[in-house]
Structure 1
Amino acid sequence: MHKPITRLLAGAVLACAALAATPPSQAASFDCAAARAPAERMICASPELDTLDLRLAELYRRAIESAPWRRALREAQRIWLTGPRDAAAAMGGPPALAAEYRTRVAALEGELARATAPGTLQPEAARARGPACLLPMPVAITPEPACRVRESGSLPIVAGQRFTYAVYDYGEETRPEGSGVLVFGEGALPGRLRLLIADLHPDARCETPRVIGSSGRAVLQVPCVNAGTQAANDESVFGWNEGEWRELDVRSWRREFLARVPRDLSVRRGVYPDYGSMTARSPLWGAGDGDCCAAHGSIEADLAWNGDRLAMRAVRVLSQTASAPRDRGDLMPILARLPDPSSLARHPAVREALAGSLGPDGARQIAERLAGPSGGLDVVAGRWVAGSACMPHACSVEETFLAYDTRSGTALVASLRDGKAEILTPSPPWPAELVDRVHSWAPGAATLLGLAASTKPRG
């Protein structure tokens, strides 16, 4: 009797299952009885494609087990399955599908060879490779994106071991295609490094990793924000356990968190846990709220580690009155007297608002981007405190605008690089009363932010 194989499912997220004996024509890496996509039906009908599919599944399994850059491999495989693979089947039939499989097999062979190559790295090589990164981004569609090292440095000592890191940006500066963080430990020989973590994110921007004390354990946080306007949290977190960094599950708890949001409200931004205090907070939006201005309170959670998984212990939904700082009405004169936009970004109330939409590291980054020359702060429409500046030594290419609403406690940020939005939260349109202040910051930016051109006379 025929027993279909359900080994490694190459048609989904490629989870492991059991391998059963089966005739060669039915030995694909998925259940042929359930095949629906044209590519899957072609594989089940062709011994050549069947062999290629099994070879691909085995290479993928070995690469996932061996490579520290598992996240990027999974994403590349997902894109390939629904992109190049299915397109080849639809446009060229079995011959084109076989050619596409051979191309993907060769790519995974390269990833496996890179993951299992012997040898270690000189510290100087890890820090000073210039534009030639040590690790390209695994991709499903060629050509590989360009890569450059944005920064590198040392991390705190954990259990007597030293660690260094490098942050990579992929793609052109005007067309980013992801970023990643590599973490190195000490090699077997003095002065050598070995690669421990390669956390690559095809659709996000990652920032400097940091080691945090979290409920009695050391965790390594790789802060990453999705490139979309909703600033989704795409971070990775690793826990130190038995002499190695192990990836922790910091995502599954979010489903329960979001399920506790009142039915008529929503969360429109990424949720960023504070692993020091083990809490998480997000503003709440009503149906009539603009993206800029959540006006329906907040939802907060107390968190705890359950083994290697982040779990939610308690959750609270606070009304706008309960969640607003008691002295918010008095913030206007305090904020208006601050000397510059960077000081505004570092004020506790503004920093909290920035962290709610960009994460703690994103809030720190905005303060740094505003640390250069500025024209001070302005009060707009009796409620906004706004200012703009640039990062020191980068004023010719980068400018950042920050506005804080003293009524709702919302922060708006736009950071432009070479005239294009690099950070933009919330998504347009912004409140119309900011149009003149935005125009004085960067003529033409009002259109980018969904603001109609001002008709107010200047002078």
Structure 2
Amino acid sequence: MRVKLIAAACAALAIPAAAAQTDECQSTYGQRACAAPALAPLRTELTQKYAAVLALGNRTATWHARHTQALQAIRAARDYDGAPLDDTALAQQFRDVIADYDRALAQAEQVRMMIKTPSARSATCMATWLDQGCRVSASGILRDAAGRTVHWQMLAGASAADGVGAGILLWAETGHGTARLIGWSFDGVFYEPPRITQAGLIWVPGRIAGTGDGNADLLFAWDDAAARWNDIDLDSWRETLPAKLPRGFGIWKGVDYDFEGMGATSKLWRDQDANCCPSGGEAQLEFTIEGRRLVLRQVDVAIVEKWAPRRRD
């Protein structure tokens, strides 16, 4: 009898635990992704790969923002036209995100985490991701107002995974002729040399490939408490952009940042425009940094007169 009572008690405890696991799964991945048993291995793999990417310590705020956006898309489980995704399409959505994490992990294996400081200024690539014709396109040293020294190296070449591309690597000097990696990126096809802004930020302008002409900029701020350079998430602010633009207008491509003035400019597209040809005017964006995120404070638009709303007398 006692054995039966213990078994019943264990079963009663198991029901709330299972329900809690289901609730946690649905809050993370959505009901569709949790209802398909075939997606369970992909959910596990995605969780593990994301944890591994964060453990690299490279641009963790950026990867957190990208992971959040990826989970939002998985929870929505809809295509570009708003139609529900079937299990095959939803599985591919998981695989696409996992592939991004696999690429980041593969890049990390080919990046020099610690270097002798002369190495950053040499003609030898300090990463081997651009394994086809890698060359050092530029290198240099930055010093902020506090005297902290940063070594950097820009790379050009091509990789088997991405084709023609570019890379940027930054190391913080640790003393005794050595430097530890701050962060890196191979997202762009073009980078400009890093610079220190008057506010003490490290800014690396960059662009990605494709007709979208998207941003590959990097931004780092010094963290006194942690005694290190931390990256600033430059992705998530776009989620708040539509609410700050006039109805029927959008910013479809990368913006031209100016982190000296904590702003950016962009052309404006109307809903009827082709991707190539914005006709709506221009926008001036104003940002601030909150924690490790770039936050969009305000958008001022100069709409082409013929599209401007008519004033009523």
Which TM-score bucket, shorter chain as reference?
0.5 to 0.7
Choose from 213, 232, 240 the match for 2:222. 240
Question: Quick one: percent identity of the two aligned structures?
Answer: 24
Structure 2 match to 1:318: 302
CA contact (8 A) 2:268 2:282 kept: yes
Equivalent residues in 2 for 1:187-206 (5 A)?
A: 187-188=174-175, 190-201=176-187, 204-206=189-191
Q: Tell me what 1:123 maps to.
A: 117
Asked if 2 retains the 8 angstrom alpha-carbon contact of 1:236 and 1:247, the reply is yes
In 1, Cα distance between equivalents of 2:207 and 2:103: 28
1:134 is matched with: 127
Matched, 1:166 2:160: no
SS in structure 2 at match of 1:124: helix
Instruction: Give yes or no for the alignment of 1:207 onto 2:192.
Output: yes
CA 1:111/1:37 → structure 2, altered by over 3 Å: closer, same or farther?
A: farther
AA of the residue aligned to 1:309: R
Q: Which residue of 2 aligns with 1:269?
A: 253
| Separation (CA, whole Å) in 2 of partners of 1:111 and 1:301 | 33
Classify the secondary structure of the residue corresponding to 1:218.
coil
What TM-score does the superposition give when structure 1 sets the normalisation length? 0.45
**How far did residue 227 of structure 1 move?**
0.3
Q: How does 1:297-446 map to 2 (within 5 A)?
A: 297-320=281-304
SS of residue in 1 equivalent to 2:256: coil
Q: Residues of 1 paired with 2:168 and 2:181: CA distance? A: 11
Question: How much has 1:197 moved relative to structure 2?
Answer: 1.7
Say if 1:110 and 1:199 are closer, same or farther in 2 by CA, change over 3 A: closer
- How far residue 270 of structure 1 moved from its aligned partner, in angstroms, is 1.3
> Cα distance, 1:204 vs. partner?
4.3
Aligned to 1:150: 137
SS in 2 for 1:231: coil
Q: In the alignment, residue 154 of structure 1 is paired with which amino acid?
A: I
Output the CA distance in 1 between the equivalents of 2:163 and 2:218: 20
CA contact (8 A) 1:60 1:108 kept: no
1:246 to partner: Cα distance: 1.1
Where structure 2 has 5 or more consecutive residues not aligned to the other structure, the ranges are 1-13, 71-87, 93-97, 307-313
Residue in structure 1 matched with residue 36 of structure 2 by the alignment? 36
- Alpha-carbon distance in 2 for matches of 1:298, 1:225: 20
Structure 1 range deviating more: 223-232 or 304-313: 304-313
Structure 1 gap segments, 5+ residues each: 10-14, 18-28, 45-49, 79-85, 91-100, 138-143, 323-459
1:312 and 1:158 mapped to 2: Cα distance?
27
- TM-score normalised by the chain length of structure 2: 0.63
Which structure has more RCO (C-alpha within 8 Å, separation ≥ 6)? 2
How many Å apart are 1:280 and its aligned residue?
2.4
Distance 1:171 1:114, change over 3 A: closer
What SS does structure 2 have at the residue aligned with 1:151?
Answer: strand
Q: Secondary structure at the match of 1:283?
A: strand
Structure-2 change in CA distance of 1:200 and 1:31 (3 Å): farther
C-alpha distance 123-257 of structure 1, shift in aligned 2 (>3 A): same
Code of the residue aligned with 1:148 in structure 2: it is R
Q: Distance in 1 between matches of 2:274 and 2:169?
A: 38
Partner of 1:184: 171
Equivalent residues in 2 for 1:211-290 (5 A)?
A: 211-213=196-198, 217-242=199-224, 243-286=227-270, 289=273
Closer/same/farther in 2, CA of residues 171 and 37 from structure 1, 3 Å limit? farther
* Counterpart code for 1:302: E
- Distance between the aligned counterparts of 1:254 and 1:160, measured in 2? 34
What amino acid sits opposite 2:54 in the alignment? Answer: I
Deviations 1:390-437 (A, max 9, x none): xxxxxxxxxxxxxxxxxxxxxxxxxxxxxxxxxxxxxxxxxxxxxxxx
Aligned residues: 260
Contact 1:133/1:147 (8 A) holds in 2: no
Amino acid at match of 1:136: W
Q: Does the C-alpha gap of structure 1 residues 293 and 315 become closer, same or farther in structure 2, counting only changes over 3 Å?
A: same
| Superposition deviation, residue 290 in structure 1 | 5.5
Aligned partners of 2:129 and 2:159 also within 8 Å: no
- Asked if 1:65 corresponds to 2:55, the answer is yes
C-alpha distance after superposition, 1:319-361 (max 9, x if no partner):
3259xxxxxxxxxxxxxxxxxxxxxxxxxxxxxxxxxxxxxxx
Cα distance change of structure 1 residues 37 and 209 upon mapping to structure 2, 3 Å threshold = farther
Deviations 1:281-310 (A, max 9, x none): 222233565655533322223322333332
Q: Is the 8 A contact 1:62 1:112 kept in 2?
A: no
Structure-1 separation of matches of 2:285 and 2:205:
20
- Write out per-residue CA displacement over residues 425-457 of structure 1, whole angstroms, 9 at most, x where no aligned residue: xxxxxxxxxxxxxxxxxxxxxxxxxxxxxxxxx
Partner secondary structure for residue 183 of structure 2: strand
Contact 2:201 2:221 in 1 (8 A): yes
- C-alpha RMSD of the superposition: 4.7
